[in-house]
Amino acid sequence: MSTRIDARGLSCPQPVILTMSKIREMTKGRIEILVDTDTSKENVSRAAKSKGWDVQIVEPDGSGYRIVIQKD
């Protein structure tokens, strides 16, 4: 199961809040998050790792980044 969060244009701490609430909701699976700043990229990755999720992909996407996190 894969879910997508579009956090582009949202300032700190919204991308992390959205990611954390999705992580709480799903407990495991695959989440794709779109962000538009390097700060958000770092914050979302750090938050996911702290909850035991694997940060699998971080790649440039448009003018921002696409992050894929997963937990089995």
Partner 1 sequence: MGMKNVLASRWGVIGVGAVIGILAPILQKLGNPGNMGICVACFERDIAGSLGLHRADIVQYMRPEIIGFVLGSFAAALIFREFRPRAGSAPIVRFVLGVFAMIGALVFLGCPWRAMLRLAGGDLNAVLGIAGLVFGIWIGTLFLKNGYNLGRSQKTYPSVGLLMPLIAFGFLLLVFIYPQIQGEPASGVLFYSVKGPGSMHAPLLVSLGIGLVVGVLAQQSRFCTMGAIRDLTLFGQTHLLGGLVALVLAAFVTNLVLGQFNPGFTGQPVAHTLHFWNFAGMTLAGLAFALAGGCPGRQLFLSGEGDGDAAVFVIGMVAGAAFAHNFGLASSPAGIGTHGAAAVAIGIIVCLFIGFTMRTKLA
Report the interface residues with partner 1, using CB under 8 A. 5-14, 16-18, 20-22, 36-39, 42-43, 46-47, 50, 58, 60, 63
C-beta of 28 vs 49, nearer to partner 1: 49
C-beta of 27 vs 60, nearer to partner 1: 60
Q: How far is the CB of 28 from partner 1 (least distance, A)?
A: 18
C-alpha to C-alpha distance for 39 and 26, rounded to whole angstroms: 24
Q: Tokens 């199961």 appear where?
A: 1
C-beta of 43 vs 53, nearer to partner 1: 43
Bond from prior residue into 13 cis (ω within 30 degrees of 0)? yes
Q: How far is the CB of 3 from partner 1 (least distance, A)?
A: 9
Q: Are 71 and 24 in contact (CB under 8 A)?
A: no
C-alpha to C-alpha distance for 43 and 35, rounded to whole angstroms: 10
